[in-house]
Amino acid sequence: MSDDATAPGEGARGRLVELEVGAVAHGGHCVARLEGRVVFVRHTLPGERVVARLTEAADGAGFWRADAVEVLEASPDRVAPACPVAGPGGCGGCDWQHVDLAAQRRLKADVLREQMHRLAGLDVDARVEEVPVPAAAGTTPEDAARGLGWRTRVAYAVDAGGRLGFRAHREHRVVPVERCPIATPGVVDLGLPAVRWPGWRSVEAVVPGTGDDALVVAEPRPGARRPPRVPDVPAATSVATTSPRGPRQPPGPVSRVRGRTWVREEVRGSGFRVTGAGFWQVHPGAGEALTAAVLEALAPRPGEAALDLYSGAGLLTRALATAVGERGRVTAVEGDARAVADARRNLHDVAGLTLVHGPVERVLEERAGLEADGEPRADVVVLDPPRTGARARVVAAVAALRPRAVAYVACDPAALARDVATFADHGYVLRGLRAFDLFPQTHHLESVALLEPR
């Protein structure tokens, strides 16, 4: 190491520093300190001593970022990564391939507890539950035990040479891959990285948990007057394309190249059509785990009015409708037009159902479709917002309906904690919390929180 490695100044990015690593933090890294400054370090574990390369180190910044490039004192929870590009400078997707699977779940529970304490002022008893990979996914028991072979949907970026890969952490740079070890065998067997994809911006492989035929959805680079040629993919695979979109634009229309433009997922004996690369949980056991957790939390009663917000293709909507029965009613609200169209097909046989297309906050504030006997009514509510959370407007509008119970499905512990704090301002308190490891080898987790009136 250079002499100035422990006292970096102007232009410190790229320098090597020796760090004593502290607690895990939200986002897939751990916290260290360098002369009073916080440094968020990836590819390490609490208690380790490492040499790290500074990756973001601007003078005046409140904190810096770094990658551990050499381990001087290793944690007993450290293991060899299953993927050759999972380390520093490689793929930004798997944060914790260097961590034993049981330890990953302990770290995720630590993060959930810390976020709930810091952002919601609550001390919770959290643990992260394992979700088995169903046999239909084709994953071997050995891989499942290592947290591999679970991901049914893989979105590849395409580099300038047409090679498939994944973005580096906090970079646009594409890291080419030959295979992804967390993908299901069905995704790996498509062999998409083995061919070049010139002219394409992204390629998503979808192999449903049912084991049905796969779908490949490709997006061309912006500016193309016509979609480029689709390379050869296995004959039984459906292929579709979408139009280029900006970073905050919704997905464009899906155009059929061959086969069909959708896949069929199945949960509890019911089929769900999902168009293109529309939203569906990427872990094949997620649908059952989350449905069971939501129903356990809410305990919906026959004849009740249920509200399903951010309802997607209708997974939890159907579960609610079954629970409240023919005397009950369910209102589902979703902002994505393609998901609403899928839900109409998926739920065509459900009595007492109202599907509302529109932004959740606007629908709630206008209370369109929420009336029962002339008055807004929701006995139970499911919230399953995007990673950014429901936020204050939606939380306030839900609380104004005075449901007896709210089940909040969250993929980000910080967003969940902020929204739980906002619910408390409106008279709702946290009564239960479960967390599920639906994203092994990454820092992500899924939680189901139960909120009830104080």
Number of neighbours of residue 232 by Cβ within 10 angstroms: 9
Q: Describe the chain by its helix, strand, coil percentages, rounded to 5.
A: 25, 30, 45
CB of 272 within 8 A of CB of 142? no
DSSP readout, 15-53? -EEEEEEEEEETTTEEEEEETTEEEEEES--TT-EEEEE
Residue 100 marked in a binding site: no
334 annotated among ligand-binding-site residues: yes
From the candidates 30, 91, 94, 411, give the one annotated as an active-site residue. 411
Site of tokens 């904690």:
417
Decide: 149 and 179 in contact? Cβ < 8 Å.
Answer: no
Three-state SS string over 302-329 comes to CCCEEEEECCCCCHHHHHHHHHHCCCCE
Distances in Å between the alpha carbon of 93 and those of 181, 306, 346, 356, 361? 12, 36, 32, 34, 31
List all residues 6 or more positions away from 423 whose beta carbon is below 8 Å from its beta carbon: 395, 399, 406, 429, 430, 451
Positive/negative CA dihedral, 412, 415, 419, 421: positive
Q: How far is CA 408 from CA 164, 301, 434, in A?
A: 36, 18, 10
310 marked ligand binding residue:
yes
Dihedral sign of CA atoms 421, 358, 156, 437 in order = positive
**Is residue 384 marked as binding?**
yes
Token representation of residue 76: 């007993």
Say if CB 16 and CB 34 are below 8 A apart: no
289 in Cβ contact with 131 (< 8 Å)? yes
Q: Is 411 assigned a catalytic role?
A: yes
Q: Distances from the Cα of 82 to the Cαs of 86, 424, 431, in angstroms?
A: 8, 43, 39
**Which helix (H) or strand (E) element contains residue 292?**
helix 286-298
Residues forming the active site = 411
